[in-house]
Structure 1
Amino acid sequence: MSNQPTARLSTLDRWLPAWIGLAMAAGLALAQLVPGVGDLLTSMEVGGISVPIALGLLVMMYPVLAKVRYDRVAAVTGDKRLLVSSLALNWVLGPALMFALAWLFLADLPEYRTGVIIVGLARCIAMVVIWNDLACGDREAAAVLVALNSVFQVLAFSALGYFYLTVLPGWLGWDSQGLDVSMGQIAVNVLVFLGVPLVAGFLSRLIGERLRGRDWYEERFVPRIGPWALYGLLFTIVVLFALQGDQITSRPLDVVRIAAPLLAYFAVMWGAGMLLGRMLRLGYARSTTLAFTAAGNNFELAIAVAIGTFGATSGQALAGVVGPLIEVPVLVGLVYVSLALARRWPADTAAESPVVEQIR
């Protein structure tokens, strides 16, 4: 483990916040300077799904999922504390917390409330790898949890979406305006935007390793496709902000209101992960992995579902777009908080000692 956690990252990855900021600015500039660009992008839809956004999301997610070592998923069962903690944080606490925060902050804005709830349902399967690396977390544990969440998300996202967007508000007698969501619609979008790159990533590793071996796959193939995750992400953000540019610039107060529950969510989930890891004596590296896996959200999937279900210019899609606007700077800040905590973190095991000592 390097004393400089960014040493393992490429120049593109180290400057990720800057690239995302530039992509946001470029999208907003397109919306303001190129008349009709929003209408043009909106017209490029098939079955209610924007083709440019679909391509960007698929290009972004494939390299990350192709890096996962799927043969190591079973290894997580060796640390039942990590497995159970991750599942509880990601699939019990996370969606419930975002549901509560959305109603607390956005009770009078049903479209934004729905979009924020969708963000809470989409568990992080991509960006967490970068945050984990920067914070000197356990890379193998991150790979296992990412693979686990990838599979679980395909199975659980639709059911949880139907429960939190339709069933639970009805039980509580709350206003359900804007929450009439088809479980089938969500399932189709999840399968397209998560299932396709997940299967492609799995098959790439399976076929690549069988034909050329793991060394070639890890040392030659993965580095070649790795940068495309960022290219896809940046392209998607440019398109999204071009589509939403007028709404973002004309409704800055709405953006602030959407940001409020997201800020609270990231802080609470990250803190819960670190605290739970410390209580269970998982060690700094795995506690950090647990925290960032819990705090991060798959805003790419959330945006895709919001766009596919409600439309590219909907309030739900705007809430999804605000996700990366808030998540990136907040989680980058939490990386530095994690590294500061590491200097005071007791090494619970012999294997953990080198990690903590080198950060110190």
Structure 2
Amino acid sequence: MSLFERYLTVWVALCIVAGIALGHVMPGVFHAVGAAEVAKVNLPVAALIWLMVIPMLLKIDFASLRHVGRHWRGIGVTLFVNWAVKPFSMAALGWLFVGYLFRPYLPADQIDSYVAGLIILAAAPCTAMVFVWSNLTRGEPHFTLSQVALNDTIMVIAFAPIVGLLLGLSAITVPWGTLVLSVVLYIVIPVIVAQVARRSLLASGGQAALDRLLARLGPASLLALLATLVLLFGFQGEQILAQPAVIGLLAVPILIQVYLNSGLAYLLNRVAGEQHCVAGPSALIGASNFFELAVAAAISLFGFNSGAALATVVGVLIEVPVMLSVVWIVNRSQDWYERGAAGKGPAPRPASRGV
């Protein structure tokens, strides 16, 4: 992890301040940016999301799906948590906390939108920072790569139906056209672009050429994330200043969801007898979110000023420190884990410091 990535939370905090300040100083600029959209998809944000997503997708070789069977227990646990538990547990937590317990303390006209943002956040498993978390837990690199590739493949098909189903249960009208367009823009097209570019680079210059491009694009990806946050908070600034407690209240169900799902994945891997080097990244993949897609989808569906967009941004705010705490728990509990694991998994490959 680079120095810049290690202090990502600091840069995020500075972007919040900058966004709120710039929103007050230059409101016309932010309104012009917000108006640049097609079918409710904001074009400047789409460009920034591409800058975030494509460098991360360049790291993924979808041919790695052939390794899926090697750690089938970990794959099964992670898929179960990601797709059968996580979106539905977040929906339940959102309805419980935002729709019921915290309702008196939140703007009444944004309750459904907040719940929608939480659902969108939970419906997309992380595809990028997972590599960092896996590395910090000395995770099995081939498992991590295979799991991320498999999740990306499933997400292309399952993201829109799951979100649509859960938003429908929340009595929110779902603009299916916009939702599907968001999936195409933020998953399908970037995956195609990244894989074509990856194969071309590997064919012409080998791994060294790909590594050089990734080194150049890495900072651009993080800067695009920070620029998106400036835009978001430029529009959300008034609401944050008027009701700063909203951020803290929205963080509660997100925090519970992260620890609930990471703990569930970790324990299920232990019961199944999977290796610790697989259980660690499985727990982290099971808990983390593809917040770039979540932010983009929330903006596309409900707009910059919506509670849904704010809820997904809260996910961005707490992602790094919370996931680092999960990394700490996984590493500290390794001896306990290995004493109880049945040891049925295959022998681990040597851990890699990069994936």
The two structures share one fold, judged by TM-score above 0.5 = yes
1:299, distance to aligned residue in structure 2 (A): 1.5
1:87 is matched with which residue? 79
SS in 1 for 2:241: helix
Contact 1:28 1:241 in 2 (8 A): yes
1:295, distance to aligned residue in structure 2 (A): 0.4
1:311, distance to aligned residue in structure 2 (A): 1.2
Contact 1:266 1:327 in 2 (8 A): no
Moved more, 226-235 or 292-301: 226-235
Contact 1:52 1:239 in 2 (8 A): no
1:358 is matched with which residue? none
2:291 paired with 1:290: no
Runs of 4+ in structure 1 deviating by more than 6 angstroms, as ranges, are none
2:311 is matched with which residue? 319
1:189 is matched with which residue? 182
CA 1:182–1:58: 2 relative to 1, 3 Å: same
1:218, distance to aligned residue in structure 2 (A): 4.4
Cα separation, 2, equivalents of 1:37 and 1:248: 19
Cα separation, 1, equivalents of 2:150 and 2:117: 24
Cα separation, 1, equivalents of 2:153 and 2:231: 28
Cα separation, 2, equivalents of 1:229 and 1:339: 28
CA 1:189–1:261: 2 relative to 1, 3 Å: same
TM-score (norm 2): 0.88
Cα separation, 2, equivalents of 1:342 and 1:221: 36
1:350, distance to aligned residue in structure 2 (A): 8.8
> Which one-letter code corresponds to 2:324 in the other structure?
V
SS in 1 for 2:11: helix
1:259, distance to aligned residue in structure 2 (A): 1.4
Moved more, 102-111 or 259-268: 102-111
1:155, distance to aligned residue in structure 2 (A): 0.5
2:338 is matched with which residue? 346
1:172 is matched with which residue? none
Cα separation, 2, equivalents of 1:88 and 1:328: 24
Which ranges of structure 1 fall in alignment gaps of 5 or more residues?
Answer: 1-8, 170-174, 356-360
Contact 2:52 2:224 in 1 (8 A): yes
SS in 2 for 1:79: helix
Contact 1:65 1:201 in 2 (8 A): yes
- Residues 180-215 of structure 1: per-residue CA shift (max 9 Å, x gap): 1033321111110122211111111112112222x3
Cα separation, 2, equivalents of 1:350 and 1:306: 41
SS in 1 for 2:274: coil
Moved more, 21-30 or 294-303: 21-30
Moved more, 21-30 or 79-88: 21-30
Match of 1:209 among 186, 191, 202: 202
Match of 2:158 among 138, 156, 159: 156
Matches within 5 A, 1:159-308: 159-166=161-168, 169=169, 176=171, 179-213=172-206, 215-308=207-300
Identical residues among aligned pairs (%): 33
TM-score (norm 1): 0.87
1:131 is matched with which residue? 133
> Which one-letter code corresponds to 1:185 in the other structure?
T
CA 1:351–1:228: 2 relative to 1, 3 Å: farther
Which ranges of structure 2 fall in alignment gaps of 5 or more residues?
Answer: 104-110
- Residues 204-251 of structure 1: per-residue CA shift (max 9 Å, x gap): 1112112222x3244433323223221221221122122212122212
> Which one-letter code corresponds to 2:307 in the other structure?
G
2:45 paired with 1:61: no
Cα separation, 2, equivalents of 1:187 and 1:142: 27
> Which one-letter code corresponds to 2:154 in the other structure?
F
> Which one-letter code corresponds to 1:212 in the other structure?
G
CA 1:138–1:18: 2 relative to 1, 3 Å: farther
Match of 1:146 among 145, 148, 151: 148
2:19 paired with 1:17: no
Cα separation, 2, equivalents of 1:241 and 1:286: 37
CA 1:224–1:35: 2 relative to 1, 3 Å: closer
CA 1:217–1:43: 2 relative to 1, 3 Å: same
Alignment RMSD (CA, Å): 2.2
- Residues 160-182 of structure 1: per-residue CA shift (max 9 Å, x gap): 1121111xx2xxxxx62xx1103
1:58, distance to aligned residue in structure 2 (A): 0.8
> Which one-letter code corresponds to 1:80 in the other structure?
W
SS in 2 for 1:67: coil
